Amino acid sequence: MNNSTIEKAPAGVIARLRSWASADPHVTRLAVVLVLLLVAFAVMKPKNFGNVATWQSMAVQFPEYGLMALGVMLTMIIGGIDLSVVAIANLASIASAVMMLSLAPKGSDAGIGYLAAFLAVPLCLVIGAIAGAFNGFLVAKIRIPAILVTLGTFELFTGIAIVLTAGKPLSGLPMQYSEVFAARVAGIPVPLIIFALAVVIVAVLMNRTAFGAKLYMLGSNEKAAAFSGLKTTSLTIRTYMTSGVLASAAGLVMLANYNSAKADYGSTYTLLAVLIVVLGGVNPNGGSGKLSGVVLGIVVLQVLSSFLNTFPNISNFYRPLIWGGVLLLVIVINQWYKPGGLSRFFQKRSAS
């Protein structure tokens, strides 16, 4: 390798970084924020930062709301939203818990316990798909705004879950379920593996299939998508169905982490999922957004949450305040950089 090649290498790397940064400013900003958070974490709390248990705990926690955020992302790309993901997760996990408790009550042998755990997975995912399809049907066929539909079904699904449990947690699940879904494979928690598989599947759907391209077309202009021959009703229903399946997968993770099921678990995850998607650069009006930004948003918020946990003086009661403030701040920043947004408004004000 000659000197000219050595001199050109850093310049080439810098050029690639610049092109990557200009191509997706949301991802760039999130990457910078993540690096700053990690540096602050390492400097201020070095013991926690260097503890393997801290990172394993993160890997167990964020797949719960991370899977929900993936579903919200898909619905937001088509110009909708899914505010029922937490209710779907709880309803699906409760139905799975009821089935496992009926098949493998306390005292059952291990074989029956593993059978019950195996059957719980497809049951949970099917319930999530049905709930998501119901949302999509109301949005696409009855033409009710997505925010109203999913707010209504949030209450509906939560009400069904409360009836099934009488408002009490369902515990005493077969230990074989936790042995599988709360285990670690080569030190990697199973919930993280489930989340990684979901990310790969969503990435393939969005980037390697016609389904992903149609999502962006529908979100950009629904009328134009319909005139171009897209089956918008079917596409909308399938999108909400996919969101329901991802939410039910989150329910499986929650069921393993808590070893119980209840109608109000993860009550703050709805706001968190929406915050992650907006933070990741997905346009709330539809038509744009990248999976990489959403995944980075999930990691950023989990690192921030774990960092805050190291300060005993910061109560968990402040979390909704922090998440709500961050959500509003991100929306304001996005509007500032949007062409014809807040920056132009302030320029007009100053000129007058």
Domain that holds residue 291: 57-330
Total domains in the chain come to 1
For residue 32, is it within any domain? Answer: no
For residue 22, is it within any domain? Answer: no
Nearest partner of 133 among 281, 260, 233, judged by Cα: 233
For residue 311, is it within any domain? Answer: yes
For residue 36, is it within any domain? Answer: no
Categorize the per-residue pLDDT at 244 as very low, low, confident or very high, splitting at 50, 70 and 90. Answer: very high
Tens digits of residue pLDDT in 129-164 = 999 999 999 999 999 999 999 999 999 999 999 999
pTM: 0.87
Burial of 122 (0-12, 13-18, 19+ CB in 10 A): exposed
For residue 352, is it within any domain? Answer: no
Give the span between the Cα atoms of 129 and 123, in whole angstroms: 10
Categorize the per-residue pLDDT at 291 as very low, low, confident or very high, splitting at 50, 70 and 90. Answer: very high
CB 160 within 8 A of CB 94: no
For residue 44, is it within any domain? Answer: no
For residue 13, is it within any domain? Answer: no
Give the span between the Cα atoms of 166 and 262, in whole angstroms: 10
Tens digits of residue pLDDT in 75-100 = 999 999 999 999 999 999 999 999 99
Quickly list DSSP for 145-213: -HHHHHHHHHHHHHHHHHHHHTTS-B----HHHHHHHT-EETTEEHHHHHHHHHHHHHHHHHHSSHHHH
| pLDDT in the model for residue 9 | 46
For residue 146, is it within any domain? Answer: yes
Categorize the per-residue pLDDT at 1 as very low, low, confident or very high, splitting at 50, 70 and 90. Answer: very low
Max intra-chain CA distance, the chain: 79
CB 212 within 8 A of CB 73: no
| pLDDT in the model for residue 202 | 96
Q: Which ranges of the chain does DSSP label H, i.e. alpha helix?
A: 3-23, 25-44, 46-49, 52-77, 85-103, 110-140, 146-165, 175-181, 190-207, 210-220, 222-227, 232-258, 269-279, 291-309, 319-337, 342-351
Tens digits of residue pLDDT in 325-336 = 777 777 777 666
Amino acid at 21: A
| pLDDT in the model for residue 197 | 96
pLDDT: which is higher, 8 or 279: 279
- CATH number, position 130: 1.10.3470
